[in-house]
């Protein structure tokens, strides 16, 4: 027996070519990003608009992961390259299970061992240290030094190299339509461009992150 494993285990949008060429593999490995921008803003201070923009042009969200695994229909679906903390695992599992009902495994941050035979699949995890979370970002790195405290509004930086300048259109043409994997009651239109200027309330971010903005002014 030949062990067949396939999947875009790092950054990538869900696409029909992956579903076509990975069809029927033993273990299909892909990435999963939680569609939890508001929670990430409250926990880490990353503006909601920036989180959604990043995942909508570069990553595969939970519902899309489940849909893609179901299209491939492997013996086992497995995810990695994900936010591996207890605050989001239940939500991520629920998103995947909206489409995929078969064997499903977490690869965590690339520390899983999978043994495959024609009759069975075994999965075990390496010992992991406790998840320490992400460090809080320094506001000055995003919004300038000194911070525009007078107005309280920070300008979200535009990407230096937009996706359209680094990726051929054909790749985007093969992306799976989000309407196919989002349940209708939670659908949101993907954010693929930022308004110019896109503003965020620095005082509101500082409050939820418990940051004293005066430390970042001159």
| DSSP SS3 for 79 | strand
Question: How far is residue 174's CA from residue 170's CA, in Å, rounded to a whole number?
Answer: 7
Q: What pLDDT does 96 receive?
A: 96
Q: What is the pLDDT of residues 150-178, one digit of tens each?
A: 888 888 888 888 888 988 999 999 999 99
Distances (CA, A) of 210 to 135, 138, 144, 146: 13, 12, 19, 19
Q: What pLDDT does 1 receive?
A: 40
Q: What pLDDT does 150 receive?
A: 80
Q: What is the pTM of this model?
A: 0.84
Residue 114 CB-density burial (10 A; 0-12 exposed, 13-18 middle, 19+ buried): middle
Question: How far is residue 40's CA from residue 33's CA, in Å, rounded to a whole number?
Answer: 12
Q: What is the pLDDT of residues 61-74, one digit of tens each?
A: 999 999 999 999 99
Who contacts 64 (Cβ-Cβ below 8 Å, separation ≥6)?
13, 14, 176, 178, 181
Q: What pLDDT does 154 receive?
A: 87
pLDDT in tens for each of the 218 residues of the chain?
444 555 555 688 999 999 999 999 999 999 998 888 888 888 777 788 989 999 999 999 999 999 999 999 999 999 988 766 666 788 889 999 999 999 999 886 557 788 899 899 988 876 666 655 556 667 777 777 778 878 888 888 888 888 889 889 999 999 999 999 999 999 999 999 998 888 888 888 888 777 787 777 65
Q: Are 76 and 70 in contact (CB under 8 A)?
A: no
Q: What pLDDT does 187 receive?
A: 95
Question: How far is residue 205's CA from residue 132's CA, in Å, rounded to a whole number?
Answer: 21
Tell which residue, 80, 113, 79, 81, has the closest CA to residue 96: 79
Question: How far is residue 75's CA from residue 103's CA, in Å, rounded to a whole number?
Answer: 7
């Amino acid at each position: 027996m030949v062990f067949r494993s396939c999947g875009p285990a790092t950054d990538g949008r869900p696409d029909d070519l992956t579903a076509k060429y990975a069809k029927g593999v033993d273990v299909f490995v892909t990435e999963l990003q939680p569609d939890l921008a508001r929670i990430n803003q409250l926990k880490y201070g990353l503006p909601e608009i920036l989180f959604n923009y990043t995942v909508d042009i570069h990553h595969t969200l939970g519902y899309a992961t489940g849909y893609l695994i179901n299209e491939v229909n492997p013996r086992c679906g497995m995810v990695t390259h994900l936010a591996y903390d207890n605050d989001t695992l239940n939500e991520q599992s629920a998103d995947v299970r909206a489409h995929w009902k078969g064997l499903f495994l977490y690869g965590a941050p690339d520390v899983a061992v999978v043994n495959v035979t024609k009759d069975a699949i075994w999965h075990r995890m390496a010992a992991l240290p406790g998840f320490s979370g992400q460090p809080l970002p320094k506001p000055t790195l995003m919004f300038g030094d000194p911070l525009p405290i007078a107005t309280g509004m920070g300008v979200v930086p535009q990407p230096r190299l937009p996706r359209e300048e680094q990726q051929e259109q054909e790749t985007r043409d093969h992306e799976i339509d989000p309407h196919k994997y989002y349940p209708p009651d939670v659908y949101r239109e993907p954010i693929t461009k930022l308004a110019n200027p896109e503003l965020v309330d620095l005082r509101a971010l500082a409050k939820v992150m418990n940051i004293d903005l005066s430390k970042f002014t001159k």
